[in-house]
Amino acid sequence: MFKRLKEELDSIMERDPAARSRLEVYFLYSGFKAVRAYRRANWFYRHNHKFIARWISQSARRRTGIEIHPGATIGKGLFIDHGMGVVIGETTEIGDNCTLYQCVTLGGTGKEHGKRHPTLGNNVMVGSGAKILGPFKVGDNARVAAGAVVLDEVPPNSTAVGVPARIVRVNGQKPAALDQIHVADPVAQELARLSERIAELEAKISPSATGERVL
């Protein structure tokens, strides 16, 4: 248990330049407290003491501003930086050494049963205010930009930005179809198609096209 605790503290010290000591992290970091409370709640949840599990998780929510459902599956080294407003749903799966910033939501899209929340691979970073909604996977080493709304799978080693999110980098390189010049923007494409169609219709009804004389 102490080895696991030290690993959790060390992982935060490595990723947070503001952390001055392990004691500071242990006593003052709300994200660390929320994850520790989740570990306790998850034990009761797995042993079919659901009421106690939810009581622990809701108590932690009131104290930290972070809501982690006790049914979620979370690997080692989760760092929730600042943390206020973070919501992690029941069927969420989070790999090792992931980082979440404030106001992140790992949620579902409706009232369906079964797997309805996202799966995060290892070493995933999710920026502040990002929403990942649905039962799909965010691959290992992926990054989700602040404020992004992710509704589809994110490949490993890629970066997703925007609303709805789209992939702008894979393995550190911009995809050819998604660079700043040749970006496949569906809204812009539809506007261009409509503009072209309007020009065609105007040409058909213009005097030169009909042979009519303008008075």
- Beta-bridge partner residues of 67: 87
**Closest-CA residue to 130 (of 108, 107, 109, 104):** 104
Preceding omega of 70 cis (within 30 degrees of 0): no
pLDDT in tens, 28-39: 999 999 999 999
- pTM greater than 0.85: no
pLDDT in tens, 74-104: 999 999 998 899 999 999 999 999 999 999 9
